[in-house]
Structures are given as C-alpha cells and as structure tokens.
Structure 1
C-alpha cells in the first residue's frame, strides 16, 4: 500500500522533510517544525 500524500522525512536528506504526492517524491522540501508546533493532526498543507 502506498502512503498518502504528505510531508515525510526526506530519504536523501534526513534532516529535511519532502513532499510525497502519493506516487512519487516532488522537489518540495522543508525544515521540519519542532514537535508541538504547527497545525494539529493532519499535518501541514502541501506545497
């Protein structure tokens, strides 16, 4: 089963998160927010 679209740890740069579009990694990356910050369950919106 394929993971749903969302921000995940970047397999090529573990200190970053990368957007998974549901079928492939995109070029969008970001620095992860510290735990307890940012949007509640469901994560941040996509790129």
Structure 2
C-alpha cells in the first residue's frame, strides 16, 4: 500500500516539497511550509509521511 497523491517533503531536498502522484515522484516541486505553520484556511493539510520511491523499470 502506498501513500495517497499529495505534497510530501522531497527526500532528496528536505527544504522542498515534491508531488507524489500515488505511484511515483513527479518533477513538480515547491517550497516547503515553515514548521509550526498550518495550511491556510480552506486548504487541505499537507501529508506528513514521505513515500518510499519505487524503483523504475
């Protein structure tokens, strides 16, 4: 079972978040939210666990 799609801490750059599409990392990245700050009102929370990349073919 893999984590659902969402923004997660980038395992190769912890100061950024990277989009996990539910099966693999994409190239989409963004600055990580500072620790201690929650999501803005109306936004879904950012998932905390970091998915383990699945080796490609």
- Class of the TM-score when normalised by the shorter of the 2 chains: 0.7 to 0.9
TM-score, with length taken from structure 2: 0.62
* Larger CA Rg, structure 1 vs 2: 2
Indicate the residue corresponding to 1:22 in structure 2.
22
Give the gaps of 5 or more residues in structure 1.
none
Shift of 1:41: 5.8
For residues 17 and 10 of structure 1, the distance between their equivalents in structure 2, rounded to whole angstroms, comes to 5
- Point out the structure with the larger strand share: 1
Root-mean-square deviation over aligned CA pairs: 2.1
Deviation for aligned residue 1:9: 0.3
Moved runs in structure 1, 4+ residues, more than 3 A?
A: none
Q: CA separation in 1, counterparts of 2:39 and 2:2?
A: 27
TM-score by length of 1: 0.74
Long gaps (5+) in structure 2: 47-57
